[in-house]
A and B are shown apart, each in its own frame.
Chain A
């Protein structure tokens, strides 16, 4: 099976712009989670989608949003970008998002905000 894919891999934006990142989970996986990784804050959970519904949400402002499509692919959007949004954004998938599942991570999208 192909792994989790994320596009684009690298992105450069300027403050105030918005950005959309895409994640395709492993075939058959219905749960997709998103994480932000920065040197200062480490790895932080953004949100989880399951069957097109947001099931869990982390402590991020409303500028961060996401959605999931019927084929389980997911997108996350960040509006009004700030310098502090520069980070590696990782998505991960699991079959059902059950507690005892490992998560399979994609390679990440590195976002730089200038």
Chain B
């Protein structure tokens, strides 16, 4: 079974707005990663946050991690139509680096 859940399942916004996606997980983790998938293609890594980190930024992306609540959020600022994709969080458990456990994903639609 999957590690956790993401919400919302789908999100539709206008260009220029911010998009926030949330992810919850069940077990202790080594790190949490976010991936993007365009139209059923391969996944692209966006950002990795370690369990001892609380916040991380990369360009227009901001990720937070709350290990006490077993949750993470991904914020995309000033969204663009090209950000339209599915976004997945994935957790890595200690000593199992080659195994990603994915959430169900959030489908983001950014309208021009």
Contacts and interface: CB of A to CB of B under 8 A. Distances in A.
Q: Verify that A and B bind, or say they do not.
A: yes
Interface of A: 4, 31, 33, 35, 37, 41-45, 48, 50, 55-56, 58-59, 88, 90, 92, 94, 96-108, 110
Nearest to A46: B99
Contact of A56 (B43, B96, B102, B105): B96
Interface string B18-55: 00000000000011010100001111110010100000
Given A43-B88, A44-B102, A56-B98, 17 more contacts: A4-B42, A33-B98, A37-B40, A41-B2, A43-B2, A45-B99, A45-B102, A90-B43, A94-B98, A99-B92, A99-B94, A99-B95, A100-B31, A102-B48, A105-B42, A108-B41, A108-B42
B75 interface: no
Contacts, number: 81
A104 B43 CA distance: 8
If over half of B's interface residues share one DSSP class (helix, strand or loop), that class is named, otherwise mixed; here it is: loop
Contact of A94 (B1, B43, B97, B105): B97
A48 B13 CA distance: 37
B99 A48 contact: yes
Nearest to A45: B99
Interface of B: 1-2, 30-31, 33, 35, 40-45, 48, 50, 88, 90, 92, 94-105
Contacts of B94: 99
